[in-house]
Structure 1
Amino acid sequence: MQKDTLYASTHEALGAFQFDESVVAVFPDMISRSVPGYQTILTGIGELTRQYAQKDSQLYDLGCSLGAAALTMRRNVEVENCKIIAIDNSEAMIQRATEYVQAYHSEVPLILQQGDIAEIEIEDASVVVINFTLQFIAPEQRQSLVNKVYQGMKPGGILILSEKLHFDDEQMQQAIEHLHLQFKRSNGYSELEISQKRSALENVLISDNQQTHLQRMQDAGFSTAGIWFQAYNFASFLAIK
């Protein structure tokens, strides 16, 4: 695993964060050192896939990056005639994900596509994963995407949505931010790296609070929705149709 040192030296002209080839090269290290509970979330995605995947259905990984969630889903499908569709708008991500997918043999088809998840069709879905992706989509497009997921889902299907949260209470926000900063420091990130990455993500990663996510899923039509895992300001929601 290549170590993430993208922001270890000073950048005079710091551009907005992009999922380009430089990020792709260090992405597994970056996300494991930046997102508390990431591996636990992947394990949970596998278990929930095992429980809720329906035969003769499609499973979606929307914003798949390197395909970690899609591969976890594929390892845990136990019913017949399932197909996994993994989509990302980054060409570099899809190219590298293709290498990872080809390294693991499975009878479950896994199709990688480069594209905009806001524009693709969701059909016959029993499991849909949006793992730390909605936060990078324009806020005004988020409800329509969740609506589309619900409408393309079989009864009994699930949405697993993982996101960085913010808290409306200022004291709570400061406390949770401090814990997250300490998490990154303990994983070897310097103050320069933390500061520069935060600047690069500003206006690119726009988080919602817990209530906004739950209301969005309720408005889409989901009968059941709640947080199944949370670590600091990172949470994963489960919504059931």
Structure 2
Amino acid sequence: MTQDPDRLFAQPLAQVRDFVFNEDVVRVFPDMIKRSVPGYPTIVENIGVLAGRFAQPHSVLYDLGSSLGAVTQALRRHVKAEGCRVVAVDNSTAMVERCREYLHAQDSMFQELLPVDVIEADILALDFQPTSLVALNFTLQFIDPERRLELLGRIRQALLPGGALILSEKLRFADDEEQALLTDLHIDFKRANGYSELEIAQKRSALENVMRPDSLEDHRDRLLAAGFRKVVPWFQCLNFASLIALP
């Protein structure tokens, strides 16, 4: 399938509107995420590897905020436990439609993949089934901060013993010098991937009211408050990290 380059913010905009996952974003999303999130391909592929350890036979695996299904595809490649199925959930109609296309293409390339249900829904209203693996890959940061603990608590209640939540997020830092350094390094990463100063500035404006990152300490404290017994950071690249939370 063709993937367009991300030029959404390349021209000066009279008004920079809040970022939404619409058809324009979906069209360029693979290029956007690769050039904007350091370590993204490593995180996605290794969520599949990690899931291979935690997925239990005949259980549901959730990809929450599934976007175009990159994590779902990784789960299908790596999970070998018998009788598992993936439930991929996103609230963007455009994302869900394209995700289904991508997964259909994956079906044609691989044999005996896990079955998938792609659902358009608000994950805050989702009725969770018992699950051995939940992936929240750069999704929680778009949830209302006041409702993040509620969501994590419901995920914890649905997790089977021996299962895991894998949570990937952009981080903020309490130390001002550390925050400034890692912000500057992230901007350098974007420049190195071909984004102009205008693109960087306009996208930052579009996201500032939509994406609200937490610190690593906030994530750990919230996960423990939600009932998880152990939180293990397994990956960090600049100001992006991924954690394993164990019930």
Q: 2:191 aligns with which of 185, 199, 202?
A: 185
Deviation (angstroms), 1:205: 0.4
Q: 1:9 aligns with which of 5, 8, 11?
A: 11
CA contact (8 A) 1:122 1:153 kept: no
CA contact (8 A) 2:164 2:245 kept: yes
When normalised by structure 1's length, the TM-score is: 0.98
State, as a whole percentage, how many aligned pairs show the same letter.
49
Quick check: 1:95 aligned with 2:97? yes
Change (3 A) 1:181 1:110: same
CA contact (8 A) 2:141 2:170 kept: yes
CA contact (8 A) 2:77 2:113 kept: no
Q: How does 1:1-241 map to 2 (within 5 A)?
A: 1-105=3-107, 106-241=112-247
Secondary structure at 1:104 match in 2: helix
CA contact (8 A) 1:62 1:131 kept: yes
When normalised by structure 2's length, the TM-score is: 0.96
Q: Distance in 2 between matches of 1:155 and 1:104?
A: 31
Deviation (angstroms), 1:107: 3.7
Q: Deviations over 1:136-168 (max 9, x none)?
A: 010001000000100001001100000000001
Q: Distance in 1 between matches of 2:59 and 2:216?
A: 30
**Structure 1 runs of 4+ with >6 Å offset:** none
CA contact (8 A) 1:166 1:207 kept: yes
Secondary structure at 1:155 match in 2: strand
Secondary structure at 2:190 match in 1: helix
Q: Distance in 2 between matches of 1:14 and 1:171?
A: 28
Deviation (angstroms), 1:14: 1.4
Q: RMSD in angstroms over aligned alpha carbons?
A: 0.7
Deviation (angstroms), 1:208: 0.5
Q: Distance in 2 between matches of 1:186 and 1:107?
A: 36
